[in-house]
With several copies, the nearest count.
Chain A
């Protein structure tokens, strides 16, 4: 794999929402961070590799929470199978190693999180639609997210299918703790960290520091604020003044994604066909 990238690369003329989302997520990770991914996480995996190839060569990647600094080649069809952690420096044992390091608080402080439902205070649900004991829809289950929301991590949500069904006023079930009821409720429970950013196919949102209510930070080029509002199950806060436009990826970022990181286009599997 080629190392580094031209820092002065111009904005791409030709980019797609998946590539823009990857660039935004990549920008959340820096040298000195450690990043890991779970299953069906094509965008985060691409983002970690993009960061390493450009601004954050010393970002440490734990592929699938298993393989330390692998050399995987093009993104394979699964982000939780052996091809992803080819030539790793270490096979991280899950409980004694991975969870101990994750719980500790000094490492692996940022997580990319996908969720079936995310609400206005950043609470996530991968458990059930409807009642827990008699669900209307049984979702896959919260797995590690049930921990990550409570152990001081900074959470970066990604959502390739921004819709009123996935961004809801209130989740049916809190399976990953965000800011709970908002304000200082999370803090009062002694929880640190919390949701930082929500990156969707339409826009980037963050959380207003006092109320902890989700807030529109930027819309992607070509997307209007009205489109975002129509696609969201609640009213996100709006910034004072003009809403910013998300910077597009650089030409070099797009080249790296298309030619080096994901030539087979696995990243597009996450997007619902329209």
Chain B
């Protein structure tokens, strides 16, 4: 199989200004943060995001002025609160949000992945979500049953995901953990796929657990080894989220200036990923996170 291994900087060149970027993410979980920081450092502009539940990644990208639209279910950092820079940007009209129910987002991405013009759901009927969205419309059942909501296919330009291990050819493996649907569907719906991984291993290592491989390498355009690549989000079962950094961000993000200073210190400042890890506390802090000492 063809080798796809590269660097963060090279991989980021697969993302152009204006692209619609599908981003793996839950509120405080499993976001490809190293790649997100690289996009901020490279000052990408006018990106759209597609996310199930966006967390700190979305707030950083919003604060850095990288994004102008968001398609997804929700944006929240759970116990740390709302994504303030994102929220303010939506309220100011700098970011458009297309809000979808979970089944609707999965239907849009599922149709995109399967080259179908649409897929259907029975969610959202009766809500205001349908009328405000040109990508949703009610249609009749041709067999005489109840009407359904048609959800138009969504094809992101690029998908960013983070995994536990991969080989140089981009075959992607996850250790046993919660299986969120973004990893399953986004890379198949998107035109290009960038994978960061905790660890690059020999292909033979993958052969010992073929049931843990979730993406074949031919779907992947670039794979980059980035240990701690999801920090400060959690990456089960390897490490918990960094609660202190989340709290520091939420405090800083109350103002535009605070947010800018924070990003300068943790995103623009560190020359590379190793410097970032040093800036957030280095080895002893990271060791604590492997024990789920979040705060």
Interface residues of A (CB under 8 A from B): 31-32, 34, 39-40, 58, 60, 62, 64, 66-69, 77-83, 85, 87-96, 99-101, 103-105, 107, 126-127, 132-138, 140-152, 173-177, 180, 186, 189-191, 269
Contacts and interface: CB of A to CB of B under 8 A. Distances in A.
Contacts of B295: 77
A140 B75 contact: yes
Contacts of B240: 81-83
Contact of A143 (B79, B87, B90, B101): B101
A147 B121 contact: yes
Interface in B235-249: 236-237, 240-241, 243
A91 B210 contact: yes
Contacts of B197: none
B129 A175 contact: yes
A151 B180 contact: no
A144 B26 CA distance: 13
A143 B127 contact: no
Contacts of B203: 69, 89
Given A67-B210, A82-B236, A96-B184, A104 B113 contact: yes
Given A39-B78, A95-B181, A175-B128, A100 B114 contact: yes
Contacts, number: 227
Interface residues of B, number: 78
Contacts of B90: 135, 138
B224 to A, nearest CB: 19
A40 B78 contact: yes
Contacts of B146: 190
B149 to A, nearest CB: 9
Contact of A92 (B78, B91, B207, B216): B216
B82 A140 contact: yes
A232 to B, nearest CB: 23
A101 B188 contact: yes
A136 B87 CA distance: 10
Interface string B253-284: 00000000000000000000000000000000
Contact of A138 (B91, B122, B184): B91
Nearest to B2: A58
Interface in B162-176: 167, 171, 176
A150 B126 contact: yes
B292 to A, nearest CB: 6
A141 B125 contact: no
Contacts of B87: 137-138
